[in-house]
Amino acid sequence: MLRKQSTQKDFFDSYVYERLLPKEHILLDIRQNLNFSFIGEETKSFYSDDTRGRPPFAAEVIFKMLFLEFSYSLSDYEVVEQVKTNILFRYFVGLGISQDTPDDTTLVKFRTRLGEAGFKRLFDRIVEQARQKGLIKGRLKILDATHIQADIALQGTVNFLRQARKVIVRKISKSQPEEAAILNQKYVNEDKLFTPPTNEQIKEELSCSREFIKEIKNTFNPGTEELLALLETAVNQQEKKTDNPGHSQPEEIISLTDTDARFGCKSEKKRFVGYKAHISLDAESNIVTSLRTIGGNRNEGAHQEVQKLLEDDELKDITHQAVCADSLYDSYENRVQIHKKEMRAFIPSRTKTGKIKTRLENFIYDKTQDTLICPQGYSPISKTNQEQGTLYIFSTAQCKNCPGIHNCPAPNYGRIRVFVSNDYRLKLVDNIPAKLDAFIKRKGIERKFGEVKKWHGLARARYRQRWRVAIQSFMTFSVVNIKRIVALLSSPPAYVLCKVGFG
């Protein structure tokens, strides 16, 4: 049964806190302006109703300790020591002077108990408080993702396969030491390769691993199913990669310690291994409204990923007038689903436009009449709907004396034909003066990414496996959201959390 947060004030605690706490501090403002009682409500279902045994610490206390941990880039052990000795931290989490302090193992169990789903609930409730306080304006939503480097060391194909066989043999040795000794002599290679492997070396390791898998499946299987399946998948992937050098393997397994980490690209030339935090940001308040942690190989601009973020916002009753994103999100599918939700899509073209499309930017699309109007105000004399768009036909009689004729397509058989694709038609619908202002505001999301990476450690994963990294993302953006909420509610000067000092 979950222990409730005590609301009673001890006389001694009050005496100590009144004399030792600073008069002003962001932690005091957070405690005053935000209601954390929802934590007990949202985490109740993760605990047993059994009243036997000692009740666990209040979930609100543990969450606030995690808040401090991610605010000041501390480890589990360090935040426990700080709460024991730092009066401000102890007051913030809601512990009395004489009360026991949760240890670092309690923090680990709390994260494991709640998992990704539980921390998403807590993140959503913080966003809900911001919405209820009227801080989320709902004018412009910005979408983008930032990479998170995985907490692993890259080994290379040969070293990875050797390590996998070694780990499986070690696991077998716990129950069958004699058989494991034979396998160790036959398949385990302790040498590490420090130079790029040749194709012959890779093929030799793949062959050895394939024989190893076959023998283990036929003879041994004492709890090695998961590791063996992992090795077999890696061997299959590498064999395809070796047989087809130009064939990419987006789901390539890179590490045994973090099997969810994937190769991704920060740019055309820069690669990384890890994950991406894909977020939706309210441009006016700079509050992150929705968040998803995806593999580094996933394309955040894919319409499935965009749809999930938009749906997350809808479930929180958060709506905006427009969505702004970079050119990676430039697709017909994204524009269609954004328009279906009655929002404008301010997304630049992914590729440089040619002369014809540059000329089209000066045209106006009338959505009510479903027609194209040239810069001089003329309408087409006819149009033809085609599979990929619409062909608009203008009369040269109207255009021959037009001063802007040189900016239009050349006449063809006495007519000027302008083809507008379905995607480009949606771009013309969103081609309004507010679009430029939205592109300027979009840069604000880069500052948010800089904040979480520089001050809160999101540049590198603290944990391994995607669901644990998702917890890190939810806690990190919960911290910056809470800081932003307090900054918007409080009078200037704004406070800044520092990595050192704790006070």
**Gap between the Cα atoms of 22 and 182, Å rounded:** 66
The set of residues, in sequence order, having a beta carbon less than 8 Å from that of 42 and lying 6+ positions away, is 118, 121, 122, 125
Task: Name the CATH topology of 140-150+264-348+434-477.
Answer: Nucleotidyltransferase; domain 5 (3.30.420)
Tokens 């929705």 correspond to what residue? 290
**Gap between the Cα atoms of 363 and 428, Å rounded:** 8
CATH 3.30.420.10 location in the chain: 140-150+264-348+434-477
Question: How would you write the pLDDT of the chain (503 residues) with one tens digit per residue?
Answer: 455 555 556 767 787 888 889 999 999 999 999 999 999 999 988 887 766 666 778 999 999 999 999 999 999 999 999 999 999 999 999 999 989 999 999 999 999 999 999 999 999 999 999 999 999 999 999 999 999 999 998 888 899 999 999 999 998 888 888 888 999 999 999 998 888 888 899 999 999 999 999 988 877 666 788 888 899 998 998 888 877 765 556 778 888 899 999 999 887 788 899 999 999 999 999 999 999 999 999 999 999 999 999 999 999 999 999 999 999 999 999 999 999 999 999 999 886 654 444 467 777 788 778 888 887 788 888 888 888 888 888 877 777 777 766 767 767 666 777 888 888 888 888 888 899 999 999 999 999 999 999 999 999 999 999 999 999 999 999 999 999 999 999 856 555 555 544 34
**Gap between the Cα atoms of 164 and 189, Å rounded:** 11
Cα R_g (the chain), whole angstroms: 29
Q: How many CA atoms lie within 13 A of 309 on its CB side?
A: 30
Contact between 300 and 292 under an 8 Å Cβ cutoff? The reply is no
**Gap between the Cα atoms of 279 and 120, Å rounded:** 13
Amino acid found at 162: R
Buried b (16+ CB within 10 A) or exposed e, 80-111: bebbeeeebbbbbbbbbeeeebbebebbeebb
Tokens 């670092």 correspond to what residue? 104
Contact between 227 and 167 under an 8 Å Cβ cutoff? The reply is yes
Angle between helices 157-173 and 225-243 (to 10 degrees): 160
Alpha-carbon distances of 15 from 19, 30, 95, 96, rounded to whole Å: 7, 21, 14, 11
